[in-house]
Amino acid sequence: MTESTLILTALAIPLVGALVIALTGASRNVRDSLMVASALLVFLTVLSILPLVLDGEQPSVRLFEILPGLPLAFAIEPLGMLFGLIASGLWVITSVYGIGYMRGANEKNQTRFFACFSIAIFAALGVAFAENMFTLFIFYEVLSLSTYPLVAHKGNEEAKRGARIYLGLLLGTSIGLMLPAMLVTWFMAGTLDFVPGGILQDNVSRSVGAVLLILYMYGIGKAALMPFHRWLPAAMVAPTPVSALLHAVAVVKAGVFTVLKVSIYLFGLEYLQSLWSTDLIMWVAAFTLLAASVVAIQKTNLKARLAYSTISQLSYIVLGAMLASELAFIGGSMNIAMHAFGKITLFFCAGAIYVAAHKSEIPEMDGLGRKMPLTFFAFLLGALSVIGAPPLGGFWSKWYLLLGAVEAHHAIMIAVLLVSTLLNMGYLLPPVIRAFLLKPPQADGHGDHHDDHHTSLRRFGLAEAPLFCLIPLLITATGTVLLFFYASSVQGLIEMIFTQGVNHG
């Protein structure tokens, strides 16, 4: 296949997959098998592009021009390659998990659910492969629209309200803030292409650039900077596979990925260092990072706690971009991968606990680790990776962020990163401690919920979730360990951005 064919194939498969899922919904075994097959095919297609990028090439394809110099086009550079691999790779695992969860929880409208899921992955890959800000914006909006039915999946008033908040904030910020910033950029720079070193510093004054930065950073609502963060906890009414999609595979990662792309390819790190609003956004990210952690500690619902954890963790990446140093940018970029594996593991575990034990409140999980040791051990690995403890992958992204803060001479940000680590421990470790060390409550009949199809481990006295839920969370938990030892591969891919000529000051 040619480069252009590979890109278009990777984008086409999830769209075709969504159609096939819709047409085969009457037979759920056929539908689910085809869904997993399409997810695997997408990942293999994206993976086949990786050698080209590692060789220094930038595979690209241009479809058509909306206006002269404003094409719908794709080009895969190292950062987009990283996001594409994460989105497509975790889609395979999430698809398998989704089957186990949706069946185990007896969710309705599964065909619609999986079809929208496929469209969301199509949009995420479009964001990853976009050659310019215009193309990215189109797929960014498709991602918001395609995930709305997923958030509203349960169909009750709470779900509908959460979905309205979700879509309202995401569309409001992107159309009300990011789109005007793009129009000004287009008018003043004459292009929206992603260019190494940025396109603004030679075309826009620092005062205008400072305002543009604020519009872009808050216009990227998926990055969940306060106060435009409420959509994320509101979306927790959705089934757990959707939470995994939102927090690890597609939505929030599309947000912070866009933050990094805008920072490095529209502004450039040297230009960012000269703008007064860079420090402003940095402080906003630091506040969001700490404040969301404090809120997370107070939440007793596990998914709500993980939602505020995600808000905090996203701000690590925004902070890395605003530090405007090469090391911090590498750390922020690495955190896309490290957080993806850690957080998807945590949400997989939360869903497995709900399916197997019908528990969602942390105080209800006392002693549950004795019946679900595999799930809670996986939760521990995911938690330690998000915290940044070795030997888990999250250690390296946090380490480079710290080095970046040192390189940028921001002593207060070093303190923020260290304090936040303690707060991470404060909200992520208690569920595991309670599950393994506290005594379980008196028998309440919850064991009766475990149908024979839920697990093949019951003969060992365990009450784990269905294998289709259990195996994916064990795979992603293992991934958090492997990323510690193979972090240099992720780092090397990101560093190619700078060796290919990005101006980093």
* pLDDT of the chain, 505 residues: tens digit per residue: 788 899 999 999 999 988 988 888 778 888 888 889 999 999 999 999 999 999 989 999 998 888 888 899 999 999 999 999 999 999 898 888 888 777 766 667 778 888 888 898 999 999 999 999 999 999 999 999 988 888 887 778 888 888 888 889 999 999 999 999 999 999 998 899 999 888 998 888 899 999 999 999 999 988 889 888 888 888 777 677 666 766 666 788 899 999 999 999 999 999 999 999 999 999 999 999 999 999 999 999 988 899 899 889 899 999 999 998 999 999 999 999 999 999 999 988 988 898 888 888 899 888 888 889 999 999 999 999 999 999 999 999 999 999 999 998 899 999 999 999 999 999 999 999 999 988 887 654 444 444 444 455 555 556 787 888 889 999 999 999 999 999 999 999 999 988 865 443 4
Task: Write the CA distances from 218 to 42, 195, 255, integer angstroms.
Answer: 32, 22, 10
- Angle at alpha carbon of residue 238, lines to 233 and 239, rounded to 5°: 130
What are the tokens at 313?
Answer: 């963790």
CB atoms near residue 447 (< 10 Å): 11
What are the tokens at 149?
Answer: 């039915």
For residues 228 and 252, is the Cβ–Cβ distance under 8 A? no
> Which residue matches tokens 């784990």?
464
For residues 173 and 221, is the Cβ–Cβ distance under 8 A? yes
Prediction pTM value: 0.90
Q: How far apart (Å, rounded) are the C-alpha atoms in residues 458 and 409?
A: 55
Helix or strand run (H / E) with residue 396: helix 394-407
Q: What is the pLDDT of residue 148?
A: 87
Q: What is the pLDDT of residue 248?
A: 65
Helix or strand run (H / E) with residue 270: helix 269-273
For residues 256 and 318, is the Cβ–Cβ distance under 8 A? yes
DSSP E strands: which ranges in 28-143?
Answer: 60-67, 70-75
CB atoms near residue 191 (< 10 Å): 16
> Which residue matches tokens 């940018």?
329
Q: How far apart (Å, rounded) are the C-alpha atoms in residues 162 and 56?
A: 44
For residues 288 and 294, is the Cβ–Cβ distance under 8 A? no
Q: What is the pLDDT of residue 465?
A: 77
> Which residue matches tokens 């691999």?
85
For residues 153 and 107, is the Cβ–Cβ distance under 8 A? yes
Task: Write the CA distances from 212 to 177, 324, 383, integer angstroms.
Answer: 9, 16, 36
What are the tokens at 468?
Answer: 């289709």
- Which are the contacts of 95, defined by CB distance < 8 A and separation ≥ 6? 35, 36, 39, 114, 117
> Which residue matches tokens 């596979």?
241
Backbone dihedral angles phi then psi of residue 57, each to the nearest 5 degrees? -85, 165
Nearest CA among 486, 245, 476 for reference residue 374: 476
Please tell me the chain's helix, strand, coil percentages from 3-state DSSP, rounded to the nearest 5. 75, 5, 20
Q: What is the pLDDT of residue 287?
A: 94
Q: How far apart (Å, rounded) are the C-alpha atoms in residues 284 and 273?
A: 16
Domain assignments of the chain as residue spans, ordered by start:
3-499
